[in-house]
């Protein structure tokens, strides 16, 4: 019984080049995946910090602006404020949907 030994394979260079390309593409994919996770973490941290910054405005200043708007609206309806004052009060309490 004899087992033939391969001394030379004509495709050795091409196989090695293909393996190098596969390894490089895996590293590129891993780097892209890591960048996506980093971007998501950064965006989440930004959203959380923005929410923390906006909470006092929403809690205190929005209710204060609504009271001013209601007062100016009452004054406008009874002739004590101008239309521009009324519209300015409406604009300052407009909230985006």
What would the pLDDT profile of 38-51 be if each residue is shown by its tens digit? 999 999 999 999 99
Q: What is the domain count for the chain? A: 1
Contact, 72 vs 86, CB < 8 A?
yes
Nearest-angstrom CA–CA distance, 62 and 56: 9
Residue 57 lies in a domain: yes
Q: How far is CA 54 from CA 41, 50, 65, in A?
A: 20, 6, 15
Contact, 52 vs 79, CB < 8 A?
no
Residue 4 lies in a domain: no
Residue 49 lies in a domain: yes
Provide mean pLDDT across the span 62-85. Answer: 79
Q: Which domain holds residue 51?
A: 12-92
Indicate yes or no: pTM above 0.85: no
Residue 51 lies in a domain: yes
């Amino acid at each position: 019984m004899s087992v033939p030994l391969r001394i030379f394979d004509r495709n050795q260079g091409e196989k090695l080049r293909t393996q190098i390309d596969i390894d490089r593409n895996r590293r590129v994919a891993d780097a892209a995946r890591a960048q996506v996770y980093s971007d998501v973490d950064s965006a989440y941290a930004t959203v959380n910090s923005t929410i923390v910054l906006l909470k006092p405005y929403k809690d205190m200043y929005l209710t204060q602006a609504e009271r001013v708007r209601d007062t100016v609206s009452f004054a406008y309806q009874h002739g004590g404020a101008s239309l521009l004052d009324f519209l300015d009060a409406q604009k300052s309490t407009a909230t985006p949907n």
